[in-house]
């Protein structure tokens, strides 16, 4: 049976929420941006009025204000946005129980079984648009397709650019509409893969669709064949409300307030990130055996690295993660300035499951210690108890304690 999938995209979500909460801002240009005193002073969202002045997402706040000096600037309230996104999910479940959050401002819906109640796909899409505007004050664009990949591309490349905010992409119009787009517009193609394809003469999605799949499979394995299938509008992944119940990885990323060049200072950051990852893993009852580090330099240098290592046992203890991260960093750092760092724990398993004990890992001792620290943090906050290294000037512990995802709560 053919499915009907919607991709719901909430236009300038953060800015829309701010305007809903503060009606006096509705007719004014509004920007949501990080703290200009930190490296996070970039535009996270700009309302359509601000965009008319040329304000762009991800540009420095100072640059945006030069274009639109009269703009109202709001610091992000990440916990509030998360709560609003969850409220939208619950609201969309009035139309179908198959709602899958894709990001904080995007949601997939499988409305196949709902069409008997609400009419054809276009009628239902228009109803959702109107109801979302009335309930939340948020304008949504909707991509429609027989699967998630086509619905996503319908929204990104067509719904966002037409007056109705609704677009359909399917097998009948795919060759005319989708195949004419540049190869970088294909869902799943990043910048590096785009350059590989262009080097092979594959400049448009249609070129990839006509390319021999066996050659793609030979060069890139399963991923090459998967992209070829996507170019043909094939995607078997279902809309699953449980997508985020079983996590694949737990990680934290930090953009530093200035370029770090001192090794001791960088170690402080890696330790704090490792402790954050471990605490979150414990709170969600996960352990992991693969530890990864990602480091990037200043924008203009485009340097950095990503490394990972497999531990002999699964863990959710901060020092275990840090020792692995520290080793990877020492082996890979070229002494160039660091502007951002990330630590990730993957190959996860539930901590309640049976796992291999390591004679020298002192797992029970570390578990008791970590549980005591977690209880203190839960009751008094993360700044109530921390390692001595976080007293050093390089520490970002106090700054991050009041934030979610690197932004203000």
Contact between 109 and 92 (Cβ < 8 Å) = yes
Cβ-based neighbours of 177, under 8 Å, separated by 6 or more: 158, 169
> Quick check: is 275 catalytic?
no
With b for 16 or more beta-carbon neighbours within 10 A and e for fewer, the 309-341 pattern comes to eebeebbbbbbbbbebbbebbeeeeeeeebbbb
Cα torsion at 173, 179, 185, 188 (round to 10°)?
90
Q: Kindly give the pairing relationship between strand 286-296 and strand 249-260.
A: unpaired
105 among annotated binding-site residues: yes
Asked whether residue 9 is marked as a ligand-binding residue, the answer is yes
Q: Which of 18, 59, 100, 106 is labelled catalytic?
A: 106
**What secondary structure, in 3-state letters, does the chain show?**
CCCCEEEEEECCHHHHHHHHHCHHHCCCCEEEECCCCCCCCEEEEECHHHHCCCCCCCCEHHHHHHHCCCCEEECCCHHHHHHHHHHHHHHHCCCCCCEEEEECCEEEEECHHHHHHHCCHHHHHHHHHHHHHHHHCCCEEEEEECCHHHHHHHHHHCHHHCCCCEEECCCCCHHHHCCCCEHHHCCCCCHHHHHHHHHCCCCEHHHHHCCCHHHHHHHHCHHHHHHHHHHCCCCCCCCCCCCCCCCCEEEEEEEEEEEECCHHHHHHHHHHHHHHHHHHHHHCCEEEEEEEEEEECCCCCCCEEEEEEEEEEEECCHHHHHHHHHHHHHHHCCCCCEEEEEEEEEEEEECCCCCCCCCCCCHHHHHHHHHHHHHHHHHHCCCCCCCHHHHCCCCCHHHHHCEECCEEC
Q: Exposed, middle or buried: residue 40 (CB in 10 Å: 0-12, 13-18, 19+)?
A: buried
Active site residues: 106
Per the annotation, where are the binding residues for Mg(2+)? 9, 105
Per the annotation, where are the binding residues? 9, 105
């Amino acid at each position: 049976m053919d499915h009907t999938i919607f991709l719901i995209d909430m236009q300038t979500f953060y800015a829309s929420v701010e305007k809903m909460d503060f009606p006096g801002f509705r007719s004014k240009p509004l920007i949501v941006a990080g703290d200009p005193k930190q490296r996070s002073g970039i535009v996270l969202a700009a309302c359509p009025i601000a965009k008319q002045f040329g304000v762009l997402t991800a540009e420095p706040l100072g640059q945006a204000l030069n274009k639109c000096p009269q703009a109202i600037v709001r610091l992000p309230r990440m916990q509030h946005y998360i709560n609003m996104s969850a409220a939208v999910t619950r609201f969309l479940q009035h139309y179908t129980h198959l709602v899958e959050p894709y990001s904080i401002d995007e949601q997939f819906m499988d409305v196949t079984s709902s069409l008997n109640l609400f009419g054809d796909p276009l009628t239902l899409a228009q109803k959702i648009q109107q109801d979302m505007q009335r309930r939340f004050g948020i304008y949504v664009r909707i991509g429609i397709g027989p699967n998630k990949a086509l619905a996503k591309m319908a929204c990104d490349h067509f719904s966002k650019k037409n007056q109705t905010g609704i677009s359909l992409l399917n097998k009948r119009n795919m060759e005319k509409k989708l195949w004419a787009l540049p190869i970088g517009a294909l869902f799943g193609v990043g910048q590096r893969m785009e350059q590989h394809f262009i080097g092979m003469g594959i400049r448009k999605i249609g070129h990839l669709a006509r390319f021999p799949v066996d050659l793609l499979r030979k060069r890139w394995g399963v991923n090459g064949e998967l992209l070829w299938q996507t170019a043909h509008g094939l995607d078997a992944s279902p809309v699953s409300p449980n997508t985020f119940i079983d996590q694949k990885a737990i990680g934290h990323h930090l953009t530093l307030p200035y370029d770090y060049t001192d090794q001791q200072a960088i170690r402080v950051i890696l330790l704090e990130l490792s402790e954050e990852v471990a605490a979150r893993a414990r709170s969600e009852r996960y352990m992991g055996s693969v530890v990864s580090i990602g480091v990037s330099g200043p924008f203009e240098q485009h340097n950095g690295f990503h490394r990972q290592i497999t531990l002999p046992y699964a863990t959710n203890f901060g020092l275990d993660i840090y020792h692995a991260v520290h080793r990877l960093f020492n082996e890979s750092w070229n002494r160039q300035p660091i502007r951002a760092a990330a630590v990730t724990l993957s190959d996860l398993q539930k901590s309640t499951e049976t796992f291999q004990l390591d004679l020298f890992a002192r797992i029970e001792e570390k578990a008791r210690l970590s549980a005591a620290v977690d209880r203190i943090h839960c009751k008094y906050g993360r700044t109530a108890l921390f390692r001595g290294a976080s007293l050093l000037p390089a520490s970002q512990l106090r700054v991050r304690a009041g934030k979610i995802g690197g932004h203000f709560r």
